[in-house]
Chain A
């Protein structure tokens, strides 16, 4: 099995804080992998290292056989690795459709043409086609998430990194979004890496989990196994043997 993404000994320091240390893992094509961990575990920093938004102090990232370390974020996207942000950041003053069209203009897909039509197709895929002309900043939060995903899909990624896609969403919005993510995986053959807090939704969605705490990978495995893992329980609940027994 050849890995689509390989992180090898990644590390990042902010002053005295080691936000990410010695993180190594592999993603196989077609997987949905989750990154689990409490606040401050270094998950978003890890995303920034993988996508070129930050340069690692040590270690390297390989994607589809190419070394990504040191590449600017737009170069990484154009190699087929796209991301969404934890806080939605739509282009203010532009319509929903125009927001997605910007993604269709990146060098990776621009030559294929079909800008507006393809953007519309993506909006249909995420269920925003009726809001195409709405100014993006007026969308409710759940719809902004879908817009983020559509914009990322516009760059035709092979691997999509979702940073807490369910954060701030109500129960009624979570299920349809889970369905959307499953559909992207099944129909588009997308490989996904997802950061999440909401354990229940998350565990139903992913096939493999990488658990992090204090910037390190503390456990790796299938969702059932990982919630039983004493190191993961300790990281989440803070107890020792008692917590283990209670779980």
Chain B
């Protein structure tokens, strides 16, 4: 019953996203929505690991950057078909998550969050230190587009994101998701229930990283340029705020939060110099009055019934 309503809701939301650009007929909106949907993919990926297991990843930008730079290098240096960049971006981000998760995920306390934060900061510095290959502050540019028409690319990004988020939602509602939520509840009890906690955290981080990397590669082929800023903690924090506004642990809420906040930023352009202030105030109000987030709790209410 609730599953059917969820499906109806998802079809409605995706239809609105699909018909809005041709109806409005503005190329500006196509650009804004492309970025919004990519942020949605990042937020959903972050939520899959950190929202479900409660292990906040403050270095998620590392996976975004790894995906984007890998796609960029493949295109500008190796001159392979740009489509390879998407798969390679996913693989590179997954590899980084394996290298970082293996030593840090077995630790208790804030070590995972701190190690990830440091790793992303180090990557940002490395991009500057090895400027001869990475392009330094300017990064890589002249990346080939995947489609000549921005609208076609938007539809491609939308389709990739919808498929990824649907996969993550299904996984989150499967026994896998149940185990990840149990890890959030109590690790020792998980061990007493015979669950290999480190293994599940590790695999969920790899999945989260892979989709973050896919988003990074999609972003590279949209901007046609990548810069070290992608690795910055600001990128991670932006994604985390989107998840909080969407409602943690629901995955689809994160996508909604990303769309909401990206559109809000654009709507606030009229405020000029006051924009950041109004934006921050709105955020504080949302999080203060709705600590559980906005999108997912609202949808649960509209839909009725139990579940997530």
Partners in one complex: yes
Contacts across chains A and B counted by CB atoms under 8 Å: 81
Q: Could you say which residues of chain B place their CB within 8 Å of the CB of A108?
A: 194
Q: How many residues from B make CB contacts under 8 Å with A?
A: 19
A93 lies within 8 A of B197 (CB)? no
CA of A25 to CA of B116 in the docked complex: distance in angstroms? 46
Known: A93-B181, A98-B178. A103 touches B194 (CB 8 A): yes
A233 within 8 A of B: no
Q: Select one of A53, A74, A78, A115 contacting B197, CB under 8 A.
A: A74
A45 within 8 A of B: no
CA of A102 to CA of B182 in the docked complex: distance in angstroms? 7
A101 within 8 A of B: yes
Which stretch (A151-159, A179-187, A205-213, A220-228) binds chain B? A151-159
Q: Could you say which residues of chain B place their CB within 8 Å of the CB of A151?
A: 189, 192-193
Chain A residue with the shortest CB-CB distance to B190: A102
B175 within 8 A of A: yes
Docked complex: B281-308 residues within 8 A CB-CB of A:
306
Q: Could you say which residues of chain A place their CB within 8 Å of the CB of B185?
A: 90-94
Chain B positions near chain A (C-beta within 8 angstroms): 175, 178-179, 181-182, 184-186, 188-197, 306
Q: Could you say which residues of chain B place their CB within 8 Å of the CB of A94?
A: 178, 181-182, 185
**Interface of B, helix, strand, loop or mixed by DSSP:** helix
A74 lies within 8 A of B186 (CB)? no
Known: A98-B178, A102-B178, A105-B179. A85 touches B184 (CB 8 A): no
Docked complex: A36-54 residues within 8 A CB-CB of B:
51, 53
A18 within 8 A of B: no
A90 lies within 8 A of B175 (CB)? no
A83 within 8 A of B: yes
Chain A positions near chain B (C-beta within 8 angstroms): 51, 53, 72-74, 77-78, 82-85, 89-94, 98-99, 101-103, 105-108, 115, 133, 151-152, 154-155
Q: Could you say which residues of chain B place their CB within 8 Å of the CB of A92?
A: 185-186
B178 lies within 8 A of A101 (CB)? yes
Chain A residue with the shortest CB-CB distance to B185: A91
Nearest 6 pairs of A and B residues by beta carbon: A106-B194, A91-B185, A77-B194, A73-B191, A103-B193, A102-B182
CA of A98 to CA of B184 in the docked complex: distance in angstroms? 13
A83 lies within 8 A of B194 (CB)? no
Supply 14 A–B pairs (Cβ within 8 Å), ascending by A. A72-B191, A73-B191, A82-B192, A89-B188, A90-B185, A90-B186, A90-B189, A91-B186, A91-B189, A93-B185, A99-B182, A102-B195, A105-B195, A155-B193
CA of A182 to CA of B219 in the docked complex: distance in angstroms? 62
CA of A83 to CA of B212 in the docked complex: distance in angstroms? 39
CA of A72 to CA of B193 in the docked complex: distance in angstroms? 12
B193 lies within 8 A of A106 (CB)? yes
Q: Could you say which residues of chain B place their CB within 8 Å of the CB of A154?
A: 193
CB of B103, distance to nearest CB on chain A (Å): 17
Q: Could you say which residues of chain A place their CB within 8 Å of the CB of B192?
A: 51, 73, 77, 82-85, 151-152
CB of A94, distance to nearest CB on chain B (Å): 6
Q: Select one of A77, A82, A102 contacting B179, CB under 8 A.
A: A102
Q: Select one of B181, B184, B186, B196 contacting A89, CB under 8 A.
A: B186
CA of A146 to CA of B197 in the docked complex: distance in angstroms? 24
**Can you add 5 more A-B contacts, CB < 8 Å, to A53-B188, A90-B189?**
A74-B190, A77-B194, A91-B184, A91-B189, A94-B178
CB of B175, distance to nearest CB on chain A (Å): 5
A91 lies within 8 A of B194 (CB)? no
Chain B residue with the shortest CB-CB distance to A51: B192
CA of A98 to CA of B185 in the docked complex: distance in angstroms? 12
Q: Could you say which residues of chain A place their CB within 8 Å of the CB of B196?
A: 72, 74
Q: Could you say which residues of chain B place their CB within 8 Å of the CB of A53?
A: 188, 191
B195 lies within 8 A of A106 (CB)? yes
Q: Could you say which residues of chain A place their CB within 8 Å of the CB of B191?
A: 53, 72-74, 77
B181 lies within 8 A of A91 (CB)? yes
CA of A155 to CA of B195 in the docked complex: distance in angstroms? 10
CB of B277, distance to nearest CB on chain A (Å): 35
Q: Max chain B CB contacts within 10 Å: which of A72, A94, A106, A108?
A: A106
CA of A208 to CA of B190 in the docked complex: distance in angstroms? 31
Q: Could you say which residues of chain B place their CB within 8 Å of the CB of A107?
A: 194
Q: Could you say which residues of chain A place their CB within 8 Å of the CB of B184?
A: 91, 93
Q: Could you say which residues of chain B place their CB within 8 Å of the CB of A89?
A: 186, 188-189
A115 lies within 8 A of B194 (CB)? no
Chain B residue with the shortest CB-CB distance to A155: B194
CA of A106 to CA of B195 in the docked complex: distance in angstroms? 5
CA of A115 to CA of B188 in the docked complex: distance in angstroms? 21
A74 lies within 8 A of B182 (CB)? no
CA of A167 to CA of B191 in the docked complex: distance in angstroms? 23
CA of A108 to CA of B196 in the docked complex: distance in angstroms? 12
